[in-house]
Structures are given as structure tokens and as C-alpha cells.
Amino acid sequence: MDAVGTRSPSQSRSGSETRKREKKIDVRCDDIEDAIIKRAAAAEGLKPAAYLRLSALERAQATLAS
């Protein structure tokens, strides 16, 4: 786990840890973006939501560090 509490794709999460997330952010995308996100998530062994969350947190952390 890193400074913002994200886990690497290889680290598993228990069901109780998953349920602690209460906030939801909706994201709209077109068919091509949807396909890219789903392929990338599958390649990392993640669900699309987890992939987007981790990707966004990594980018946010880098932005805030600069």
C-alpha cells in the first residue's frame, strides 16, 4: 500500500475492506474509451472500477506531489 492507501493490483482486498467505500463518482465514456478501460483492467486482473480508482489516485498523487 502506498501513501494514499492504494494497493497494487497483486494485493487482494477482503470483502469488509471493499464495503468501507461509501462515496461514488460517476464517469461517462464512449464505446472506444469503455473498451480500452475494460481491456486494461482485465490485463491488470482488476474490475474496471478498481482500475479507474487506482489510475486516478496514482495520477492525483503525482499531480499533488509536483
Per-residue pLDDT of the chain (66 residues; tens, 9 = 90+): 555 566 665 566 666 666 788 899 999 999 999 999 999 999 999 999 999 999 999 999 999 999
37 within some domain: yes
Q: Which residues contact 52 (CB under 8 A, 6 or more apart)?
A: 27, 37, 41
Q: What pLDDT is stored for residue 32 in this prediction?
A: 98
7 within some domain: no
Q: What pLDDT is stored for residue 41 in this prediction?
A: 98
Regarding pTM above 0.75, the answer is no
48 within some domain: yes
Q: What pLDDT is stored for residue 5 in this prediction?
A: 62
**Overall residue count recorded for the chain in this entry:** 66
Number of domains comprising the chain? 1
18 within some domain: no
Q: What pLDDT is stored for residue 12 in this prediction?
A: 64
Tell me the residue range of the domain where 45 lies.
Answer: 27-65
